[in-house]
Structure 1
Amino acid sequence: MSVVIVTGGSRGIGAAVVRQLARTGYDVAIGYASDHDAARAVVADAEAAGAQALAVAGDIADEEYVRRLFDQAVTLGDLTGVVCNAGITGNTPGRLDEQDAATVRRVLDVNVMGVFLCNREAVRRLSTRHGGPGGAIVNVSSTAAGRGSPGEWVHYAASKAAVETLTYGLAQEVAAEGVRVNAVAPGTVHTDLHAAAGLPNRAIERAPLIPMKRAGEPEEIAEGVVWLLSGAASYVTGATLPISGGY
């Protein structure tokens, strides 16, 4: 069986990706921060779909944790894919000059350093240059990277722009080594990210701005992620796929 690591896999888009991967025939290793009950529930769903699954808790910005997550993942089988989904906004929306430096630093640690560490470890494990079998990496960005999110989360938008640049640059580095690197950029999606920022109705309130007049569902993002991991996307690398209802 092929094994895929999904960070931030206990909730929202990450959990939807895990469930879709399990239904598609992958085994899954879930990285998550601290919600043990949620992680156990996602593992149970994956196993009910016939997959092997495990969950490893820790800080995605910590090198030792990332190595441990990968080491645990390969106990399930051959690693073929990594989905870097873990991300935070840090706080309620506000102007840049209202942001606390410690909060912004943590957002950058999770959203940028966490993606860097997981991409680096993925290349070390997957690249034919390192004796690996090849594989695929999918990073989760946001359409905020293009909009800048003024008045809301400029720091978050900047972190996601960094993810897209990392994705494109790394894709060029490892394209001849059997590793494809792509990203998806979700728009407004019904996840608990909004509630965590103190705005539980944000997805509904933003719907009129979206050409399709609704927020997305995590499962719709998961479909794009799983496609980019699959052989159907064998000639796709260095791309960022917007999944946003047109916004």
Structure 2
Amino acid sequence: MNTGVVYTSGVAPGAPRVVLVTGGSRGIGAATALRCAQQGWDVAVNYARDAQAADAVCAQITALGRRALPVQADVADEAQVLAMFDAVDAALGPLGALVNNAGVVAENQRVADMTVQRLQRMFNTNIVGSFVCAREAVRRMSTVHATEAARRAGGGRGGAIVNLSSKAAVLGAPGWYVDYAASKGAIDTFTVGLAREVALEGIRVNAVRPGIIDTDIHASGGWPDRAHTSSALIPMQRPGRAEEIAAAIVWLLSEDASYTTGAIMDVAGGR
């Protein structure tokens, strides 16, 4: 019996496999960009400041036989985000996926000592930046609400979005960075809401919640060796690797996850 339901895993058959990875020049973002290339995606590698690192990731992508585009933008700045998406459109073609990975942490601090400036930086990057990037991706990928310009360029054929959350969203990170945890709690809610909003528009939306991962983001929070000194907190007794998080992200982008949307996947060594 024909029920009239159209089953779709995301990107329509034959659609370009172009993915934008925000914060793609280092850590989890870089590992994700490379794994995407290994799986046949052309990759736009976003960076905020370190052009040399983004160029190095792009060189590895092109060595794998895929197209790569380093593209600068601070995701907390809407004008820069708009310019970034326009650059991806022009250089690589219609977008098929977005990995909302760009984010910031701050030094360990109690809520009683946090300034409004710190909170604004945290929430503007981690929450507002993810919203605006997802908005622009939906405008390009939606089978129902894509802009006319996107359709003329070959878009409007569906896609997938993966947001980066954190196990801190569940644990709260007391005494470390409750603001960061709160920003990732917002990402969890955003993921579920957006997934349901665009479920009939050919777009799947999921999130990955990493635990303590051995990347250099801890240095920016003033605790460079945190991943290893905190191993006792993890049931598996070791920090995760960026490549392990990337594997989960790229699976959620793939056809193997065709019936998965609104999911939040813990990749945290049992923490």
TM-score of the pair, normalised by structure 2: 0.89
Consecutive unaligned residues in structure 2, runs of 5 or more = 1-15, 147-155
Partner of 1:76: 92
Partner of 2:198: 174
Q: Is 1:85 matched up with 2:109?
A: no
Structure 2 counterpart of 1:220, from 227, 244, 247: 244
The percentage of counterpart residues that share the same residue type is 52
C-alpha displacement of 1:130: 2.3
Consecutive unaligned residues in structure 1, runs of 5 or more = none
Partner of 2:82: 67
Question: After superposition, where does 1:1-247 map in structure 2 within 5 Å?
Answer: 1-74=16-89, 75-89=91-105, 91-131=106-146, 132-247=156-271
Over aligned residue pairs, what C-alpha RMSD do you find? 0.9
C-alpha displacement of 1:103: 1.2
Question: Is the Cα–Cα contact under 8 Å of residues 141 and 160 in structure 1 kept in the other structure?
Answer: yes
Tell me which stretches of 4 or more aligned residues in structure 1 moved more than 3 Å.
none
Query: Alignment partner of 1:236: what SS?
Result: coil
| Distance in 1 (alpha carbons) for counterparts of 2:126 and 2:161 | 15
C-alpha displacement of 1:70: 1.5
Residue identity opposite 1:3 in structure 2: V
TM-score of the pair, normalised by structure 1: 0.97
| Distance in 1 (alpha carbons) for counterparts of 2:92 and 2:73 | 19
C-alpha displacement of 1:77: 2.9
How many aligned positions are there? Answer: 246
Rg larger in structure: 2
Partner of 2:5: none
C-alpha displacement of 1:225: 0.3
Query: Alignment partner of 2:96: what SS?
Result: strand
C-alpha displacement of 1:98: 1.4
Residue identity opposite 2:178 in structure 1: V
